[in-house]
Amino acid sequence: MVSLLLDSTQLEVVLSPTEKAMSFRRGNLRVPRETIVRAQLTDDAWTWLRGVPNPGIYLPVAVAMGTWKSAGGNDLVLIRRRRSSVVIDLEGHDEFERLILTTQHGASLLQALRLEVDGEPEDVAAIAKKKPRRRG
């Protein structure tokens, strides 16, 4: 499962070597916070797939990783089995319109996005445990 780091300017999706290989990505994905317009949890990430993998890997109900191309735009998909996931809609990002990520820290991400965070990237689970400092 992907790790998520958040600071005051961006969300970083940290990929393991296996996730990089299966999604055909060379590095982690950095998403400016201002491009995030909505984030929501889902128990069935498979229902959010749209388009076709290009490039990507798709084994139904087992794994889906890579870029999904559709008329609605490109999505980054990192889904493993039927585990809880987060769907992040983006606007103005230069590469993707949506991220669909299987992560155990989805609820922490939603909470952390509402909080003011420091300039150093930090795991979203650690941010969510801190005393809330609401964004202004």
- Reported as a single tens digit per residue, the pLDDT across 83-116 is 889 999 999 999 999 999 998 888 888 888 886 6
Residue 100, domain member (yes or no): yes
User: Domain of 89?
Assistant: 3-129
Q: Which pLDDT value is given to residue 72? A: 83
Q: Answer for the pair 101, 86: CB distance below 8 angstroms, yes or no.
A: yes
Q: How many domains does the chain have?
A: 1
Least confident range of 74-78, 91-95, 107-111, 127-131: 127-131
Classify residue 107 by burial, with Cβ atoms within 10 Å: 0-12, 13-18, 19+.
middle
Residue 68, domain member (yes or no): yes
Q: Answer for the pair 44, 100: CB distance below 8 angstroms, yes or no.
A: no
Residue 102, domain member (yes or no): yes
DSSP symbol at 23: H
Q: Rounded mean pLDDT of 7-35?
A: 93
| pTM, two decimal places | 0.85
Q: Which pLDDT value is given to residue 115? A: 66
Residue 120, domain member (yes or no): yes
How many whole angstroms separate alpha carbon 34 and alpha carbon 27?
A: 21
Residue 51, domain member (yes or no): yes
Residue 31, domain member (yes or no): yes
Residue 134, domain member (yes or no): no
pLDDT exceeds 70 at position 36: yes
pLDDT tier at 61, thresholds 50, 70, 90? confident
Q: Which pLDDT value is given to residue 105? A: 83
pLDDT exceeds 80 at position 130: no
Instruction: Classify the C-alpha dihedral 120-11-122-116 as positive or negative.
Output: positive
Which helix (DSSP H) or strand (DSSP E) does residue 110 occupy?
Answer: helix 106-113
Residue 136, domain member (yes or no): no
How many whole angstroms separate alpha carbon 38 and alpha carbon 22?
A: 26
